[in-house]
């Protein structure tokens, strides 16, 4: 088995109002970062799993995103998987 | 008429609902523990407010996998009455028993205050004791109650008449400044197409006795009670 780290990013869909993002943008503007045109606040989820290979890891993480990690009504997700080459027990 | 009130770890309005059912309404009450896949013969199941499973990940996201939810989904599919209040509404959306989702209030604030709701459907088991266009005064208490659905879902809800309550002013006019959380179309409560699953953010169990500042919430509990009586006498 291979130890894999999946890094999942969940963000509000473009059509969903993101008051957190708006508030952070306003805060950045107050600090002088006037060049910021938009901020979206999402979630970072790190999942460690033992699988046979990277393909299996991608399939499993995709299923996790669809079933639980993201709500398809309001959120988009993306992820990458990282095999560090070490074998787990 | 037997009401069931579901208790998850982190639920906080279960006893308030139970009090109204048992002490104010005088109906039969059963608490339904989230780990028990048994609805104990209840005629109406209430998913009360709170923070089930700490609302970790998203509101209602973990609660919908509880053993009791499988039975509630079956019960709803058979036409049983399911009533989600606040966190219960969020859970019903996560469980796909109702469309859409509840997101962070547009103000970013937790809002705990009285609201006015205009009743758009008075023909449901939950609202039969109300008049159409009647204005109810019922409090809200939430940080994530802003109703969101994509445009196609919203127009379907409107065409089917699935919007049951909208935030309004005291006269029943739907106005942006009467919308406490940024809900699309000022939606405070919706029902499924079949009319047996209701989700609402405001808390009727918190205004069912004069001592609590209002009794409009009791109208909804009484409606459910009477709907069951009618079914029995048919």
Chain B nearest-CA distance from A60, in A, is 18
The CATH number of the domain holding residue B46 is 3.40.50.880
Q: Which domain holds residue B47?
A: 2-233
Overall pTM > 0.90: yes
Question: A73–B104: do the CB atoms touch at under 8 Å?
Answer: no
d(CA A72, CA B184): 18
ipTM reported for the complex, 2 dp: 0.83
- The one catalytic residue in B34, B116, B142, B203 is B203
> Which residue positions in chain A have pLDDT lower than 70?
84-89
CATH domain A2-84 topology:
Mth169; Chain: A , (3.30.1280)
Q: Identify all chain A residues contacting B94, using CB atoms and an 8 Å cutoff.
A: 71
DSSP B189-203: EEE-TTS-EEEESS-
Are A73 and B148 an interchain contact pair (Cβ–Cβ within 8 Å)? yes
- Pair B78, B219: CB distance under 8 Å: no
Tens digit of pLDDT at every position of chain B (234 positions): 999 999 999 999 999 999 999 999 999 999 999 999 999 999 999 999 999 999 999 999 999 989 999 999 999 999 999 999 999 999 999 999 999 999 999 998 999 999 999 999 999 999 999 999 999 999 999 999 999 999 999 999 999 999 999 999 999 999 999 999 999 999 999 999 999 999 999 999 999 999 999 999 999 999 999 886 665 554
d(CA B180, CA B188): 10
Angstrom distances, CA of residue B48 to CA of A25, B12, B15, B73, B83? 36, 8, 9, 16, 8
> For residue B110, which residues of chain A lie inside 8 Å, CB to CB?
none
Closest CA to A27 of A15, A14, A36: A36
- B58 with A71: Cβ contact below 8 A: yes
Q: Which helix (H) or strand (E) holds B16?
A: helix B14-19
What confidence score (pLDDT) does residue A89 get? 43
CA distance B198 to B137: 18
| A71 contacts: CB under 8 Å, gap ≥ 6 | B58, B61, B94, B101
Phi, psi dihedral angles at B109 (to 5 degrees):
-95, 150
Put simply, whether B93 touches A (Cβ < 8 Å) is yes
Q: Does B122 touch chain A (CB under 8 A)?
A: no
Structure confidence at residue B231 (pLDDT)? 58
* Interchain contact B185–A (C-beta under 8 A): no
Active site residue B203: yes
Spell out which residues of chain B touch residue A25, defining contact as CB-CB under 8 Å.
none
Q: What is the pLDDT of residues A62-76, one digit of tens each?
A: 999 999 999 999 999
DSSP letters, B173-227, are ---GGG-SS--GGGEEEEE-TTS-EEEESS-GGGSSBGGGTB-HHHHHHHHHHHH
pLDDT (0 to 100) of residue A83 = 85
Asked if B148 and A20 come within 8 Å (Cβ–Cβ), the reply is: no
State whether residue B100 sits within 8 Å of chain A by CB. Answer: yes
Instruction: Find which of A67, A73, A76 to mutate to test the B interface (most B CBs within 10 Å of its CB).
Output: A73
Whether B107 and A19 lie within 8 Å, measured CB to CB: yes
Element (H, E) at B7: strand B2-7
Contact B38, B66 (CB under 8 A): no
In the prediction, which pLDDT does A87 show? Answer: 47
Element (H, E) at B137: strand B135-142
Whether chain A has a CB inside 8 Å of the CB on B57: the answer is yes
Catalytic residue flag (residue B86): yes
CB B187 within 8 A of CB B71: no
Question: Token digits for B146?
Answer: 């802003």
Cα separation, B159 vs B102, whole angstroms: 21
Which stretches within chain A are classed as H helix? Answer: 19-30, 54-64
Nearest CA of chain B to the CA of A23: how many Å?
9
For chain A, domain boundaries: 2-84
B215 burial (CB, 10 Å; 0-12 / 13-18 / 19+) is: middle
């Amino acid at each position: 088995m291979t130890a894999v780290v999946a890094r999942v990013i969940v963000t509000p869909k473009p059509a969903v109002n993101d008051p957190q993002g708006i508030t952070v943008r306003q805060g950045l503007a107050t600090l002088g970062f006037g060049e910021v045109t938009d901020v979206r606040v999402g979630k970072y989820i790190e999942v460690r799993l033992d699988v046979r290979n990277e393909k299996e890891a991608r399939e499993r993480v995709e299923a996790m995103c669809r079933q639980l990690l993201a709500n398809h009504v309001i959120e988009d997700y993306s992820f990458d998987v990282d095999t560090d080459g070490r074998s787990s027990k | 008429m037997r009401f069931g009130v579901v208790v998850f770890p982190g639920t906080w309005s279960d006893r308030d609902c139970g009090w109204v059912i048992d002490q104010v309404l005088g109906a039969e009450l059963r608490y339904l523990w989230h780990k028990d896949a048994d609805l104990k013969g209840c005629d109406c199941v209430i998913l009360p407010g709170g923070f089930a499973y700490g609302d970790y990940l998203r509101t209602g996201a973990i609660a919908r996998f509880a053993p009791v939810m499988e039975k509630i989904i079956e019960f709803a599919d058979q036409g049983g009455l399911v009533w989600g209040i606040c966190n219960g509404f969020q859970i019903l959306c996560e469980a796909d028993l109702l469309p859409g989702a509840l997101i962070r209030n547009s103000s970013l604030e937790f809002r705990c205050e009285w609201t006015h709701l205009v009743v758009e459907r008075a023909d449901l088991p939950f609202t039969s004791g109300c008049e159409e266009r009647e204005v109810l005064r019922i409090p809200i208490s939430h940080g994530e109650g802003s109703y969101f659905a994509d445009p196609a879902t919203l127009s379907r809800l409107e065409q089917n008449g699935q919007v049951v309550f909208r935030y309004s002013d005291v006269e029943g006019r739907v106005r942006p400044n009467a919308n406490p959380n940024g809900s699309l179309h000022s939606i405070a409560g919706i029902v499924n197409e079949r009319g047996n699953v209701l989700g609402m953010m405001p808390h009727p169990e918190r205004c069912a006795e004069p001592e609590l500042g209002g009794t409009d919430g009791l109208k909804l509990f009484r409606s459910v009670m009477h709907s069951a009586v009618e079914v029995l006498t048919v």
